[in-house]
Amino acid sequence: MNSVPESLQPGTMIGILGGGQLAQMLILAGHAMGFRFIVLDPNPNCPANLVGAAPITAAYDDQEALAELAASCVVVTYEFENVNADSVS
């Protein structure tokens, strides 16, 4: 992952680990502010992918997919609290 700027500018790619309803709402609000999103979720039809996120369809502990997510964005956030700590360390 790249270093995070002091503030995120429109056009910034934001990564989300998990693609449920909370991610969907974040993406809808973020698109209105000019942000782009990439989401890692095992379900190709997760709510986040239905509103224009770039999808990475993989398990939450898939190291290749996690590396792809990290390389594709400036910052990563979690959509839910049950992320395995080993996946993100």
Calculate the dihedral angle through the C-alpha atoms of 15, 18, 20, 24, rounding to the nearest 10 degrees.
Answer: 0
Specify the CATH number of the domain 13-79.
3.40.50.20
> Under a CB-based contact definition with an 8 Å cutoff, are residues 18 and 80 in contact?
yes
pLDDT of residue 2: 55
Q: Which residue has the higher pLDDT, 13 or 5?
A: 13
What pTM did the predictor assign?
0.88
**Confidence band for 6, pLDDT divided at 50, 70 and 90:** confident
How many other β-carbons are positioned within 10 Å of the β-carbon of residue 51?
Answer: 17
What residue segments make up the domains of the chain, in order of their start? 13-79
User: pLDDT tens, 12-56?
Assistant: 999 999 999 999 999 999 999 999 999 999 999 999 999 999 999
